[in-house]
Amino acid sequence: MVYLIGAGAGDPELITLKAVRILKQVDVVLYDYLVHPNIVLIASQAEKICVGKKKGAHSTLQVDINDQMVKYAEKGLTVARLKGGDPMVFGRCGEEMMALNRRNILYEVIPGISSAIAVPTYAGIPITHRDFSHSVAFVTATRANDVQAMEFPNADTLVIMMSLLRLSPLIKRLVELRSPDTPIAIIESGTYASEKKLIGTLS
């Protein structure tokens, strides 16, 4: 059995009760860099293997992560695939489900609190508002080879995730598409004690 678990947005108290219960029972945990270390430690009886992806550091290929899930599950072990945020929001959970389906391995997805919602909330920023924002879109810039060619959904609020490394070209592109007076917040390490927040306009 494999559990595809969302660990929440960063603050270890944001993990769900169900995720905590499952982590205490599993044999193996394959976890990402974005998962708070205290959450990994909940799986006190499990073998813990970091399979994270991080810019400038060793990264595990997705195909290798899939293979490890399958390998341990086919040994009869209970596996937790532990991801930051929610596993279905830019978490490659769909690819992992496909890999497990191909081998007829049982799995369950346990949702987590996505940073797309939790980080602005912690910072006191509503992503929807009855007077100002009736729609919200979540975008990632990590796969964009050419930020200047990026198109963005026509939503009142844009939440652009994993974007700090491409911040300058992103701002340049957004100024082409929206008014320079558009309010903007830039948040790093959201929900952590080390959170940094900058609020202003695109200009």
Numbers of helices and strands, H then E, in the chain: 6, 9
* This prediction's pTM: 0.89
Catalytic residue among 32, 69, 83, 97: 32
Rounded to 5 degrees, what are φ and ψ at 73? -65, -40
Is the separation of the CB atoms in 85 and 68 below 8 Å?
A: no
Please count the CA atoms within 13 angstroms of the CA of 101 that sit on its side-chain side: 6
| pLDDT of res. 181 | 94
Q: What is the pLDDT of residues 113-127, one digit of tens each?
A: 999 999 999 999 999
DSSP 166: G
Closest CA to 71 of 40, 28, 25, 23: 28
Mean pLDDT of the region 14-43: 96
Summarised one tens digit per residue, pLDDT across range 85-109 is 999 998 899 999 999 999 999 999 9
Question: Can you read off the two tokens belonging to residue 107?
Answer: 């799995």
The sign one gets for the Cα dihedral 125, 128, 131, 133 is positive
Give exposure, 55-76, as e/b (b: 16+ Cβ within 10 Å): eeeeebeeeebbebbbebbeee
11 noted as active-site residue:
no
CA distance 129 to 125: 10
Lowest mean pLDDT among 10-14, 85-89, 141-145: 141-145
Q: Which of 1, 27, 48, 53 is catalytic?
A: 53
In sequence order, what E strands does the chain have? 2-6, 28-31, 47-50, 79-83, 107-110, 136-140, 157-161, 183-188, 196-201
146 catalytic per annotation:
no
Nearest CA among 35, 32, 25 for reference residue 1: 25
Confidence (pLDDT) at 197 = 95
Query: For 24-61, where are the alpha helices, taking DSSP H only?
Result: 37-40
Contact yes or no for 26/19 (Cβ under 8 A) = no
Residue 80: pLDDT band with limits 50, 70, 90? very high
- The tokens of 6 are what? 């969302």
Catalytic (active site) residue 53: yes
